[in-house]
Structure 1
Amino acid sequence: MMDNKINLLVIDDDDINIFIIKKIVEKTGYNVNMVAKANGLLAIEHLKATFGHTDFPQLILIDINMPVLNGWEFLDAYEALNVTKKVDMYMLSSSVYENDIEKAKTYAKVKGFISKPLSIERLIELFKLLA
């Protein structure tokens, strides 16, 4: 159990996935402030609003297929923000396309590709990497 609060941003347009991730977060035993945004544009607006604040995310889980700004477009928009703070980002997708997995590797900020559904063990692993 960590005393420090972990700020987690989940970018996904599927309410069921958000619900599942929220339940998994609760079961980790970590102190987590989870914010969910339904698309990349809302996530970028959230990042701009929390920039320089203590609730700026340390971990971002990004779905690929979303309306308005998809996961790839979010990453391009994120690059333009010139964030200097260390943020761990992972693509979290149900995509099984090898080209999506390969494309994720082309983004320096993306640490990995996680296939849905997210497991408690995998999330705890990600939280430990933040320390």
Structure 2
Amino acid sequence: MKLDTVCIIDDDPICVYGTKILLNHNNFVSANILVYEDGDEALSNLTSQLNKGQRMPDIILLDLNMPVMDGWGFLEKFSKLPIVNKPQIYIVSSHFGANEIEKAKKYELVQDFIVKPLIAKNLNDIIAMAKIAV
């Protein structure tokens, strides 16, 4: 079983580049890696895909601290979209604390909270869990 699409929502080009490298070198087989620099750009594009009847990404790797619309704003609006097969969301952020982890647990779509930098073990765990749910 393979994942069709992974979405990275992060404004840090170094983190995006590193995540792509990890995806390409750790058992990830995908036709698509979508990258958005902020929550607003991601929400707009994913909503457009949904309106066209296109499938949502299998997993979303979401940073919290971004310009325009942060990860929390994205989660709030994205969780209200009428999506049949909702993607699994993993928060990948350097900004964390007990408050952020508790807040993340309130969103049904959020599977886990991962502290940056994303490492191969985290990514392999995410892929394994996503394949079970697909």
Q: Percent sequence identity over matched residues?
A: 34
Which stretches in structure 2 are left out of the alignment for 5+ residues?
none
Paired residue type of 1:23: I
- The equivalent position to 2:10 in structure 1, one of 9, 12, 17, is 12
* Corresponding residue number in structure 1 for 2:54: 53
Between the two proteins, the alignment pairs up a number of residues equal to 128
Runs of 4+ that moved beyond 4 A: none
Alpha-carbon RMSD: 1.4
Is the alpha carbon distance of 1:107 and 1:5 closer, same or farther for their aligned partners in structure 2, counting shifts above 3 Å?
closer
Which stretches in structure 1 are left out of the alignment for 5+ residues?
none
* Corresponding residue number in structure 1 for 2:92: 92
TM-score by length of 2: 0.88
* Corresponding residue number in structure 2 for 1:25: 23
In structure 2, what is the Cα distance between the partners aligned to 1:70 and 1:5? 26
In structure 1, what is the Cα distance between the partners aligned to 2:67 and 2:61? 16
1:49: Cα distance to partner? 2.5
Paired residue type of 2:54: H
What aligned pairs does 1:111-130 form with structure 2 within 5 A after superposition? 111-130=111-130
In structure 1, what is the Cα distance between the partners aligned to 2:73 and 2:3? 28
1:71-125 Cα shifts (integer Å, max 9, x gaps) = 0000111023221213111111001322111111111111110000111121121
In structure 1, what is the Cα distance between the partners aligned to 2:39 and 2:4? 21
* Corresponding residue number in structure 2 for 1:72: 72
Could you say what secondary structure the match of 2:23 adopts?
helix
